[in-house]
Every structure is written in structure tokens, then in C-alpha cells.
Structure 1
């Protein structure tokens, strides 16, 4: 987490529709990396703006547009103190999620999801006989790769310069499946995932979880962590009835095939420390900060 001193924050603006024609993430990523590399020096907002090639006023506009927060408020959302606040009451929150389901009132800010798991036989077949369509699309967190099965969204990853690497990552998960590029067919999924304006409880996103029984149980537990909250690996282990399996839970979290939708980015270290993320720690920080803006805007 970033070590930014606490201070007053400006009120957030309402969440805006995602504009795929505007690539704000590249500069947001650059700003986060700059701060992370120099956190002991506490660089000023003017320093950050200069590093990303913007004036201070344009940096302000960038973060307001992208996250609904001022740069200072956004960076405060990445501090260890904020992470610890996310972990408050986490056990009761996970319990409540299972009692009321994934569309309860505590999920006010979230994409609503309905899920099913493929059978053990389907998983062991490693995708044999399964036709998966895929497409690359803009997202608030850089270019995203979406993979769809006939029954719903099966994969979501991110691209860092090389589309081939992102696609190979998904192919390794289901090596016997047939992958067919269909950008037009997956565009609607991308729009629904990344545009908060479309998040409605009566129109849940359908996802398909393809993994071992243990992995699926972990991923289902992740779905119980609402936006604006977090859990630890030990919390998840206890939730699935395997309290001594925190390390195995960590491995399953790292294999989550449907990033962002299944919110593995909401899992933190026991003391609130930022831990690994398959698609990069900077992106995890960006998503956490972006979600802080969503929660603040919705009150």
C-alpha cells in the first residue's frame, strides 16, 4: 500500500459511464508507479503531474473523470490505513453474504453476478469439446481479454502490451478447448462488466467457474466480498471450512480466471498489506482506488 499521509478529501462526483475511447489508465498507472517507487519521499501532486506529463489541474481532471476522486483522495484510498478500514467486520460481512445471497443490500455498488460451476468431469477434460469465444476490449484498467463459454463469461484478464501473452494465459487454463476470436460477440459482455451504469440487480452477469472443487469454493467465497470491503486469505479459508488452508486459498485466488468480476483484488494480507495479483500489483491498486470512488459517490 502507498504511504500517503491522511488529510481532508474533496467530495466525490457521481459515477460516470465508462468511455472506451479515452485511455486514462495509462496515466493513472504511471502515477501509481511513480508514487510507489518514491513513497518515502512523499512526492507532491505537482511532482506526480509533471511525471505523467500533465499540469496539476489536468491531473485533477484525470482522476475526477476516471475514479470520481481528487488525486489526493485517490492516493489515500491506497494507503495501509485505508486497507485496514476495508478489513473491518470482514468475518460478519462474509457470513452475511452467504445468508442473504450475492444480491443483498450490502452489494449496492457492485456488479450483480449469478454463477455456476462446471462439473468435475468437464474440468478434468481440460476444455475438450468446449468452444470458447474471446475478444480484446477497452476497460478502465487497460485493455481486457474476455472469454465466453456458451453458459456465460468464463475468463477475464488484462493485457500489458502483449495480447499474445494474455491469450496464452487463458489457453493454458483450458488447453483442450477451441478458442475462436469474436470481438463483436464479446463486446456486450465487456460493456456490462466495466460500465457501472449497466449494473442492475434484475440483470445479473452470468459467469461460469471452471476449476477444481476447492478452487470453485474459494472463488464463490470471493463473490461474497462486497465493493468497499476486503478479506484476508485466512478469512476465506475459514469461510469455506478449511481454516488451516490459507496457503492453498492463496494459490486458488491467484488462479481466479474471471478477474474483476470475481473480486480477487479484494483479498489483502492479514494486516492490510497489498499482496500479489496475477495481473500486476499496480492494477490491483488502481482497481481498489477506482472502487473507493464508486463507494464514495454512492454514499
Structure 2
């Protein structure tokens, strides 16, 4: 770091230490800035640059963590609020629902009465286990060993109903292709006769516009509208450039959306039972796509995406 950066780093470290030491007083931005001899505007900018969040947001998280320790020790919600320097239980309730995705009482009672949906998702830094209630995210952890993360979630919320929100997935192919999807690597199962028949029908329909011979298929089953697919592109190296992907839907009608990577332009369509759509050319290069969630949908949907995997050495 340059000398100027070292000075900024030391100031922000001192500001963070001040927030921890004085969180019960709920200091405002001016008080923190005065402690490190900066104007409030300069502190706000430098704090955001170095810590990634504002002083106010960090103070909220410090207050929440302190309240959680008290609730774990069987303290009351009022005790937790006052010991954290908050004006009352209403303020603690607002912070909990915003940051923890549940009320203080639900947290204290181990998630009793809550349904918590969890799933493993891929990130640039590895697999992540994410869990959420109807109010928001309540748990997030890097999952170097995915099997160990669910027990941690269960231990934190022993009285909640935990549900795997990821769609049921199966992977088929002409060879034992390895494919990593949603943080898990799967080896292709041999073609099912029904899938093979559907594949041939799809290829026949595409013959006139985009002749393609598919050698693999990813099957996703969505139990209902609470399960969807996050924004992503099927641009893995194993599929090659300008790959052709044919998607066939069975069951519930679901909203399928595209979002341009640069302009953020969105396109949406409702995929109905038996409908076929084809993504080809530079679609995966320039667009992300997603299956949107909806609380109104109570019936399942199965999606087949036929792909062409490149030879694996």
C-alpha cells in the first residue's frame, strides 16, 4: 500500500473498532467521523471503499450479532434490544426481518413455525449454501464440504422445517460426460428410451432451421413455483462457442426470462406444456436467462434441455 492508503486503512480500522466499542450508544456518522478526525462525508466515502458497506450498515450488523448472543442465552427480546443500544423491540424487529429474514422471536425459538428453503449455488469463489425464509436470506456459507453445511443450518434453526429448494436434477448422455451444475459435478446416465424418442423429435423439428445432433440432456423438475432457476448463461467451455440448446417444457406454465449482460434489457415469455424453445448462435454470450419463481404456481414442471457436449479427454 502507498503511504496515503496506509493512513486510510488505519483510520477505517479505528472507525470499526469505535463502532464495536460503542455500539450500545448507537453513534451516528458524525460521532464516528470526529473520532477519526474526518468529515462525515469523507468517512462515508472511505469507509465504503475499504469495508464495502457504510458505517451505519456495519453498526446494524454489530447490533444484530450482539442481540443474537443474548437471545441464544435465553434472554428476552426486550433484553436483547436494550443491551444492543436500540430504542425498543420494534427497532430490533425491523433489523432482524431486514438482515436475518425472520423476527427476533422466531430466531430465539430456533426457527419454530418457519419453512426455510435452502440450496447449493455456484459462485465465482466456490459452492455456497444459501437459505431463506419468506422474509429474506437467513443463512449463507461457503460450502467447501457441502455435506457438512446442512447440519450447521439445522443446528442453528433446529425447530424450522428445512426444504431443499433446488430443482431435482438428472443428467443423461451418449457417453459418461462429466458436467458441473449448481455446484455439483454429475456423470451422465445412459439415455432413457423416452428421452431418446423426445430427442429425435426435437432434432427433426430443428432440421430445417438449425440441424443439430444432441448427445446429452439435463432434466430439471420444479416441484412448484417456489423453485426456480437463477440468472445464468450456459456458456461453459464443455459446450463450445455458439452452442445450440433446445429446451422442452412439460407441466405447469412458467415465466422464462432473458436479460442482456450489457444493457440489462429484459425479454420474457411464458413456457407452456409441450413448448419447445431453442437458444443458439451468440445467445449464451450476450444473454442470461432464468426461470422465475411464483407463489401462485402449485403444480410441478419438468424441463429438458438438450445439449451437445464436446469430446472430453
Same-fold call, TM > 0.5?
no
Larger strand fraction of residues? 2
Q: Which has the larger radius of gyration?
A: 2
Higher relative contact order (CA 8 A, sep 6+): 1
Larger helix fraction of residues? 1
TM-score (norm 1): 0.29
TM-score (norm 2): 0.28
